[in-house]
């Protein structure tokens, strides 16, 4: 039984879904203010962001953390 009581909260959620929902919620300008990475500031697009985030672990972690924090606020506040 390898099922852990604490499952990954992002399990089953694609990076594309994460980025798309953040853009829908905040827009590119606010997203760029919250996470200072070029793929959000210079000619932003979903595809260019995904390409960068898939190669850059620290940036992906920040995006995923913002997504989780945003979802938590939506559900609890």
pLDDT of res. 71: 82
DSSP string, 9-70: TTTT--HHHHHHHHHHHHHHHHHHHHS--HHHHSS--HHHHHHHHHH-HHHHHHHHHHHHHH
pTM: 0.84
pLDDT of res. 7: 82
pLDDT of res. 8: 85
CA distance 62 to 76: 21
Q: Check residue 51 and report its DSSP letter.
A: H
Which pLDDT tens digits describe the chain residue by residue (77 residues)?
A: 455 556 888 999 999 999 999 999 999 999 999 999 999 999 999 999 999 999 999 999 999 999 999 987 666 54
CA distance 42 to 32: 9
């Amino acid at each position: 039984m390898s099922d852990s009581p604490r499952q990954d909260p992002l399990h089953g959620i694609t990076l594309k879904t994460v980025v798309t929902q953040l853009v829908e919620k905040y827009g590119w300008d606010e997203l760029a203010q919250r996470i200072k990475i070029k793929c959000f500031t210079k000619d932003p697009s979903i595809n260019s962001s995904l390409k960068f985030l898939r190669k850059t672990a620290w940036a992906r972690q920040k995006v995923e953390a913002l997504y989780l924090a945003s979802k938590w606020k939506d559900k609890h506040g």
